[in-house]
Each structure stands twice: as C-alpha cells, then as structure tokens.
Structure 1
C-alpha cells in the first residue's frame, strides 16, 4: 500500500512540475485510480499527504484541487522561497565540490545556449533548463533538509514561474543572471551569491498580480 501511495504522490508531483496540473485544477480520484490501476485507498492517502505539504487543497464534496494562492499567499510563499534559494546559493559557494561545479557550468551553459538559439521562443523548454540550474545549486548546498524545503515551496510557484518565461526578454535576462550567480558561487563569494539568488527568484508586486491573473 505504501508503495502505491508513493507512486501516486510522485505522479501528482510530476504533473505539477510539468504543468499538466495547474493551480486550481481538480485532481480526479477515478482518473488516478485508472491510470495507476490502484484502489481508492492509496489515492486518498496520497492526497492527504500532499495536502499536508500545502500542494493540494481538499474541498468538501468536490475532491482535491491543486493549490492556487491568493495574492497575499503568493507573496508570503515567495518571500520564504527567495530566502531559501538565497541560502542555498550562499552555502553552495562555501561547499562547492568539483562535481557540482561541473554540473553548475553545464546547467548555465544550457540556459545560455537556449537563450542565444531560441530567443523568447520555446519558453516551456527553457523553464525545464531553469529548474535544472536551481536544482544543481540547491544540491551543491549540501543540506538535504533545505533541498526538500526548496522543492516544496517551488512546486507552489512553478506554474507562475513557467508563465513568466513567456514574457518578452525574460529568458535572456534569466540566463544572464544564472551566469552571474554561478560566477559568484564558483568564486566562493557566499554573501553576494546569496543576495543575487534572492533577487533573481523574486517578483515585484505588479508582476505577481499579472501572473496570478494570467493563471486564474
């Protein structure tokens, strides 16, 4: 049973990360049961566990929906997330291993190549490269608890970050900022890396409103 529950959780998380499930979407019990050939019990247990992380909200007599934040919730989550990402960059600068340095360079180079080759096009593909960059930085921090906190918060904001990359000029700016952050990490300039990452992942109030409206 535990294995089936974990499978359902992984599938829902994957759908959130890829955009197959968007904020406010209903999660159909029957569809999950059919897709994974399981009974209702592991599906319900999976949704209970996802609700505990804040990624899913259960609505009486309607089932479960993917968490969709209000403006106040969005800004509050973003505030925490920016601090967590910044802390990861600072720790990465202090603890960077050779393997993580190589992975970081590869992630940044992939973002730069995409920006140079595609410009503002293929935004969803760029977003996957962006996720890889942030994953490498978080892993380089060497703190598994921090990594899990970043993942949980990021999943609540993924749809909005993904939408942001459809705006003109954002991909080029993102790739440039990734290079600057990576250079600071590689140079072991922890405080500067932390500040740069925190600024990189933040949205201003107007942008937050625009993104919430676009996905409402």
Structure 2
C-alpha cells in the first residue's frame, strides 16, 4: 500500500516539476488508478499528503486540483521563497566545495550558451537549466532541511517561473544574473550573495498579476 501511495505521489510531483501539470488542473483520479492498477485507497492517501504539502486542493464532490494561488497567496509564498533561496546562497558561499564550484560554473556556462544561441525562443529548455542552477546552489548550502523546504515551496510557483521565461529578454537577464550569483558565491561574499539571490527570484506585483492572468 505504501509503495502504491508513493508511486502516485511521485508521479504527480514529477508532473508538476516537468510542467505537465499546472495550477488549477484537475487530478484525473480514474486515469491514475487505471494506469497503475491501484484502488482508490492509496490514491486518496497520496492526495491527502499532497494536500498537507499545500500542493493540492480537495473539495467535496469536486475532486482534487493542483493548488492555484490568489494574488495575496502568491506574494506571501514568493516572500518566503526569496528568503529560503537567499539563505541557501549565503550558506553555499561559505560551504561550497571545489567540486560544487565546478558544477556551478558548468551550469552557469550552459545557461549563458543557451541564451546566446536561442535567445528567448526555447524558454522551457532554459527553465530546466535554471532548475539545475538553483539545485546546485541549494545542495551546496549543506543543509538538507533547507533543500527540502526550497523544493516544497518552489513547486507552488514552478509554473509561473516557467511562464516568466516567455517574456522578451527574461532568459538573457536570468543568465546574466546567474553569472553574477556564481561570482558572489565562489568569492565567498555571503551577505551580497544572499541579497542578490533574494532579488533574483522575486517578481514585482504587476508581473505577478500578469502571470496569474496567463495561467
């Protein structure tokens, strides 16, 4: 039973991460049960866990849908996310190993190359590079609890960050900021890295309203 529950849980999380599921999308419970040959019990257990994470809303007689924030919720989540990402950058600047610094340089270079070769024509591919950049920084913080918190919080906003890269100039700007963040982190400037990262992941209120309207 636990194995079936985890399978459904991971399937939905992967759907969120890959952009196959977006805010407000209904969870097709029948399709999931048929796909994995499971009963309703492990499916409901998985949905309860996702609801506890704040990733799924469940309404009586309406089924489960992916969490879609209001403007106020979006801004509140973003405020927390900026703090978490900033803290990760500060810790990474103190704790990053030479091997992690090499990984960071490789992904920053990949972001720059993508921006130069494709501009904003392939935002989804760039978004995957962006995820890798933030993963390297978070892992270099050396704090697995912080890493889990970032992952959990970010999943509520992933679709909106992905949509942001469709805006003109957003990919190039992100690649430039990744380079500056890498410089601050590898030169051990903890306070500057924290502040810059917090600004890097933030959106202004107008942009948030546009993104909510787009999805």
CA distance in 2, matches of 1:208, 1:52: 25
C-alpha RMSD of the superposition? 0.6
Larger deviation: 94-103 or 203-212?
94-103
CA distance in 1, matches of 2:32, 2:148: 25
Q: Measure how far apart 1:38 and its partner are.
A: 1.6
**Matched residue, 1:6:** 6
Please state if 1:191 is matched with 2:197: no
Please state if 1:75 is matched with 2:75: yes
How many residues end up aligned between the 2 structures? 215
**Matched residue, 1:56:** 56
**Matched residue, 2:157:** 157
- SS of equivalent residue, structure 2 residue 64: strand
CA distance in 2, matches of 1:132, 1:77: 21
> What TM-score, normalized by structure 1, do the two folds share?
0.98
Please state if 1:41 is matched with 2:31: no
CA distance in 2, matches of 1:94, 1:37: 48
**Matched residue, 1:114:** 114
Could you tell me which runs of 5 or more consecutive residues in structure 2 were left unpaired when the two chains were aligned. Answer: none
Q: Measure how far apart 1:59 and its partner are.
A: 1.2
CA distance in 2, matches of 1:188, 1:134: 17
CA distance in 1, matches of 2:131, 2:99: 18
Q: Measure how far apart 1:37 and its partner are.
A: 2.1
Partner deviation per Cα, 1:97-133 (whole Å, 9 max, x = no partner): 1121111111111111100100011100100000000
- SS of equivalent residue, structure 1 residue 65: strand
**Matched residue, 1:123:** 123
CA distance in 2, matches of 1:156, 1:29: 20
Could you tell me which runs of 5 or more consecutive residues in structure 1 were left unpaired when the two chains were aligned. Answer: none
Partner deviation per Cα, 1:150-185 (whole Å, 9 max, x = no partner): 001100000000000000000000000000001100
Q: Measure how far apart 1:34 and its partner are.
A: 1.5
> What TM-score, normalized by structure 2, do the two folds share?
0.99
Q: Which runs of 4+ in 1 moved over 4 A?
A: none
CA distance in 2, matches of 1:114, 1:73: 32
CA distance in 2, matches of 1:133, 1:104: 7
CA distance in 1, matches of 2:212, 2:164: 11
**Matched residue, 2:87:** 87
